[in-house]
Structure 1
């Protein structure tokens, strides 16, 4: 017997996970140019051009105004919402000289030392809100 659930309804369930953005095919399509920009920072010349004039470098890419603004603010949660993949966005962290863990801590409600200590103790507790819509 096969599962006859609607794939779109199934994928929509991922949006009910509090504090999590699952990188789906839809997000990949939405963030394609954003992620390509981030990957461009793997090349030293591109990193230098970006550091010299971030706005001008971003204007070379087919990014929405919201994407450009989020990059300039280093608002990683907004970038994830706009289709960014955290592993691609890590090229921005690296360009800024920020560790992956420190950058990820900005996506939480914790400062870096608190986040680091929590992760060193095994991460977040599985207890707590597990569904946005059900508030449980």
Structure 2
């Protein structure tokens, strides 16, 4: 990945720019629809049908089914829009952080605690 404004990117992160926005347009539009309770209910009643209604790709629909937030980010999802969807899955930011780090939730929590102890110790 090229650097932005002369800065090196953080390993394991992705830049959400125009290309990614276009790639994830349908996914992000669907997630924005979850601002309305009736749309959240419609999604819960028929997830695949709701994803199809918004024109998600097969890869995006598969990532939704698997609750794979990291894949959704790589498929153009914007974390701010995905927050509604992940909340409906019962996932919080620590769950997402664990997915991004490729470790279990328990391991991720332990790393956070260890980092806090090092900083405060």
Alpha-carbon RMSD across the aligned residues, in angstroms, is: 2.6
5+ residue gaps, structure 1: 1-7, 124-136
5+ residue gaps, structure 2: 117-121
Aligned to 1:89: 82
Q: Is 1:28 the equivalent of 2:21?
A: yes
Instruction: Write 1 or 2 for the structure with the bigger share of helix.
Output: 2
Correspondence 1:1-136 to 2 at 5 A: 10=3, 17-122=10-115
SS for the counterpart of 1:34 is helix
Q: CA deviation at 1:10?
A: 4.9
TM-score when scaled to structure 1? 0.71
CA 66–19 in structure 1, closer or farther in 2 if over 3 Å, else same: same
Q: CA deviation at 1:91?
A: 1.1
How many residues align structurally?
115
TM-score when scaled to structure 2? 0.79
Extract structure 1 runs of 4+ deviating beyond 6 A. none
